Structure 1
Amino acid sequence: MYEIMTASEEADVTVVSSKGQIVIPQSIRKKLGIGPKTKLLIYGYNDAVIMKKLDVPDVLKDLERIYRNVDEKARKLGILSDEDVSDIVQESRRKRRSGRQS
C-alpha cells in the first residue's frame, strides 16, 4: 500500500549537481533501505520526478548457488543427467520466488 506523508514529516530539499546528480536525504534512504548499488526506477510525471526502489535479484549469486547445488549432488550421485541439472535449476527458481534461498 502507499504511504502518505504525514503532517509530522518534513520535506527535504536537495540540489541537482552540475552532473545531474542528487542526494537522497539520509532519513529517506534509511526508511526505504536504499544503500549503495540499490537500483531505482525513475520517471517524470507532470512536474514531478518519481523514484521507486527495485529489488532486482542478484543473478551472479543465483548462479553460484545453483553451481554449489549441482556440485553437491554430483559428489553424492556421480555424473548428473541433463534432467537432474534442470531439476536443480527449477528448484532454485521456486525457492527464490518463495523467498527461501539456500
Structure 2
Amino acid sequence: MGFASRKRPSKRLIFSGRYHIFLPVRFNKFMEVKMADVSTTKMSSKGQVVIPENIRKKLNLKVGSQFVVIGEKDVVILKNISPPSLNEFDDLIAEAREKGKQAGIKKSDIKNAILKVRGRKG
C-alpha cells in the first residue's frame, strides 16, 4: 500500500473514566496521553519553548537535558536523549569490535579510513 493510499488517523478525544487524548504518531500507531499530562506553552520570539514544571518533574528533566526535535505538519515532538552509561558504551564497543572482526577489518584499516576522512594520506 503506497503512502497516498494510507488512511491518516484522526485526532480523537474519548472518555473512559478519565479524559484521554490520542495523538497520531506514524500513520496508524497512537500514543495515549492522559489529560493530566497535557499542558500548554508558548514559543518566545527567539523560538524558545518552556516545558511545564509538572512534565519536567515527571520526566526527571534537568537543566542541560538534550532533545531530538522532530517536526511534521502541525506536530512537534521533543525526545529526551542521554548518552549511554559506561556499561552500555562498553557493550557497544564490544559489539562493534566483534562485527569488525567478522567483517575482516583490521586496526590499520580503521586508522587509514580516519586519515582519509581528515584529508591525509593513509
TM-score by length of 1: 0.50
Larger proportion of strand = 2
